Amino acid sequence: MINKFVLSLVVIIFSVSLSYLPAAAKEDTAQITLKKTAISKKNTYTYTVKKGDILSVIVRNIPGITEEDISDNYRVIQELNPDIADLNKLQVGQSIVLRGKPFSYGEEKKMKTATTTPDTAVAAPAVPPEASSGSGQSYTIKKGDTLVKIIHRELKINTDPKKMLKIIKSMNPNIVDVNKIYAGDIIKLPSNTVFVQAANEASAAEKEEIIVEKTPEQTSKIIEVKEKIYMPPEARLAVLKHVITQMNGSFTATGNYYLPIPKTGQVTIDCSKMPVIEFDDKTILFLDLENRAPDNLKKIINDNWTDYYLIKVDKKDDVIAILKKVFNTTKGYSMTKRDKPMTIGTLPPVEFFVDWIIVKTNTKEAQALTQGLRIIYENNLLLPKAVKNYARKNGVIITEISEESGLIGKPEEIYSLPPMPVYPTTSAKDFSYALISSLGFNADKDVDVKVFDTAKDGVNLSIKADVLVKDGNKKYVIFSRSLTQQFITVLKQAGNEIIFVADNEAPKSIMEKILRAFNITFASGYFTFSGMDKNQAPYTMSFSGTKIKTDKDLYVIDFEIDQELRGLLSEVWSVNIARY
């Protein structure tokens, strides 16, 4: 009787407690708050967005920035510019606030000298005494310059430029990345004695090609190799044909072409000596590669046809000079030097450099056909095929040309990738289960969790959890609905870690809440991957996401990524991608 009376009393008390359940219980989980240092307005300045600017380039141009600082600076810039909805879509002329302040190279050097003490000084890299800052020559960077081009053109060094790149970087501590220099900046180059020393270290075969010439202005000066290496004729033809056909033109270098002259007769042109180029804008060009056409032939053509042109090629014309003559003669195309990096795509944006741009100008298409030409000096500077294919999908054809051998390029990369995890956003329960499972935890959905046990409490009561995770002796219980404080207390006393999520909550917020509860290291921000960091061509990929630290870093994004770029990230940077 006593047992029945006690049991009845428990049931009555429990029923009364249920009748006083609050309408919506608040989440009672521990929260970690990171206190961020306030940014003084005195330590900021306003920057005006220029044509070709993207945020990754602007951030890298902030003095003292390293790759590790990129994500933190992206966060700070977001805080400083709350009125800008999407920092990845900047407009020309738009003003953004950056931290720090712009200063010249001289000011930066002075600042570094003033802040270095004997206790904190770091040994400078060993360089020849002639390369010290006091013995160099100043050079103002021009549009289109790269350090490799400057070494070839200004220092007249045509062998491996890697040693000279190290020397120049040691003389210019303001250069964070040797592959990113900016027009208008002043850098120091080694003195002439360094050129001679570098030449003396060359092989015997290289020494035979280099001559030293004394002038009244200089005691010694290295000039270019005695004989310029020209591209073989067949390789040059292949380059011309490839570039022209990529822009929807035709290139005929065999057979004869008959050009009728009204009331006179016809001119027969040997296409092997004078290839014929036809474009879809009705332009027809005769390319006199050997400069052997009679002088009056050009006049005859000009007098009789408005869309026919004869282009004479000089012996000194390289393949770029010939292409400039071809495209700038047409009415519908243009070829210009490229001074700034190109950015293709939006998710993710990929940035790279080309030397020349060919565009179709007289088109009503939304995206005009574009071709970028890259002049390659070393094979390790070739762009990955994944980047070139991604560019083509976004309307940009990339052609890489060696001045010695013609068309070059990396072979197709074949990536063996597992299926990409996709976290459904249909409900908080489904999202949580997919995320936890992909991280390697043993998870179950829709599981009954006991609150009272008959043997222990004399009453049996279970609550259905959305997700239950067992990790060793610890249990994590995820609910997408609210519970009363009484249930929360009982569950916690039983050793359960409780995580509350909601269907109307952003997936990113749910993910961060779960990762904190599981004590998993993560960082949310803007991530940039640079090819130069991996001894590849100068290109970068950037995107926003959440980086989860596992045995192989997992980046969770909210967009559909190109699968070839995903393969490149996995192959080169050991990056795993998941999305929601």
Q: CB under 8 Å to 458, separation ≥6 — which residues?
A: 6, 7, 10
248: left (phi over 0), alpha (psi -120 to 50) or beta: left
Residue 417's pLDDT band (cuts 50, 70, 90) = confident
Percent of the chain with pLDDT over 90: 24
Q: CB under 8 Å to 82, separation ≥6 — which residues?
A: none
Buried b (16+ CB within 10 A) or exposed e, 493-507: eeebbbbbbeeeeeb
Residue 563 is predicted with a pLDDT of 92
CA distance 556 to 542: 13
- How many of the other CB atoms lie within 10 Å of CB of 480? 20
- How many of the other CB atoms lie within 10 Å of CB of 468? 20
Q: Is the pLDDT of residue 438 over 80?
A: yes
Q: Enumerate the H helices of 247-384 as residue ranges.
A: 295-304, 319-329
Residue 117 is predicted with a pLDDT of 36
- Higher pLDDT residue, 511 or 363? 511
Domains of the chain: 41-102 (3.10.350.10), 127-209 (3.10.350.10), 233-408 (no CATH), 428-579 (no CATH)
Across 151-160, 213-222, 356-365, 396-405, least confident range: 213-222
- Higher pLDDT residue, 395 or 377? 395
| Per-residue tokens: 322 | 């010939």
Average pLDDT, the chain: 75
Q: Is the pLDDT of residue 397 over 90?
A: yes
| Average pLDDT of the segment spanning 82-110 | 66
Query: Which tens digit of pLDDT belongs to each residue from 517-570?
Result: 999 999 999 999 998 888 888 899 999 999 998 777 899 999 999 999 999 999
Q: CB under 8 Å to 205, separation ≥6 — which residues?
A: none
Nearest to 345 by CA among 383, 386, 384, 393: 393
Single-letter amino acid, residue 533: D
Beta bridge partners of 140: 186
Nearest to 156 by CA among 217, 208, 198, 215: 198
Strands laid side by side in the 406-408 sheet: 333-337, 356-360, 370-376, 396-402, 406-408
Query: Which tens digit of pLDDT belongs to each residue from 244-260?
Result: 999 989 999 888 888 77
For 344-395, give the secondary structure using H, E and C: ECCCCCEEECCCEEEEECCCCCCCCCEEEEEEECCHHHCCCHHHHHHHHHCC
- Higher pLDDT residue, 149 or 499? 499
CA distance 337 to 374: 11
Q: Is the pLDDT of residue 86 over 70?
A: yes
Single-letter amino acid, residue 25: A
Which DSSP helix (H) or strand (E) runs through 336? strand 333-337
Beta bridge partners of 252: 276
CA distance 529 to 538: 11
| Average pLDDT of the segment spanning 81-102 | 77
Q: CB under 8 Å to 517, separation ≥6 — which residues?
A: 29, 476, 497, 499
| Per-residue tokens: 113 | 């000298």
Across 324-338, 457-471, 522-536, least confident range: 457-471
Nearest to 79 by CA among 96, 63, 95, 66: 96
Q: Is the pLDDT of residue 74 over 80?
A: no
Residue 189 is predicted with a pLDDT of 85
Beta bridge partners of 401: 375, 407
Contact between 478 and 506 under an 8 Å Cβ cutoff? The reply is no
Residue 141 is predicted with a pLDDT of 87
Residue 182 is predicted with a pLDDT of 80
| Average pLDDT of the segment spanning 339-365 | 86
